[in-house]
């Protein structure tokens, strides 16, 4: 597993999956998202859960297997809390 201290986005995804009850939140599949050959974000999947981060956004959206939004995590707020 990558050093999650070096990757705030990845750390937020792992912790988000863990909070949503994933038994093994580190068993994550990552996909890079493109639209018309332009990078638009990343998608992560773990045990039927999905997390999506769009480039330029400061949030990660977590969805269930049916695509229903479960929660969002603000990366900027997480950074501020860690620094305090």
Domain regions of the chain by residue span: 8-78
User: Which residue(s) pair with 65 in the sheet?
Assistant: none
Closest CA to 16 of 56, 75, 65: 75
Token representation of residue 47: 């045990």
Q: What is the pTM (predicted TM-score) of this model?
A: 0.81
81 vs 62, residue with greater confidence: 62
* pLDDT of residue 84 exceeding 50: no
pLDDT tens per residue across span 6-46: 478 998 999 999 999 998 877 899 999 999 999 999 999 99
Per-residue pLDDT tens digits for 42-51: 999 999 999 9
Give the C-alpha distances (Å, rounded to integers) separating 70 from 18, 35, 63, 73, 77. Answer: 13, 25, 5, 10, 18
């Amino acid at each position: 597993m990558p050093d999650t201290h070096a990757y705030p986005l990845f750390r937020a995804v792992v912790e988000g999956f863990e909070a949503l009850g994933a038994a093994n939140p580190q068993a994550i599949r990552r996909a890079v998202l493109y639209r018309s050959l332009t990078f638009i974000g990343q998608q992560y999947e773990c045990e039927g859960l999905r997390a999506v981060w769009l480039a330029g956004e400061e949030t990660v959206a977590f969805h269930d297997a049916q695509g229903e939004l479960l929660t969002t995590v603000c990366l900027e707020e997480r950074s501020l809390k860690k620094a305090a």
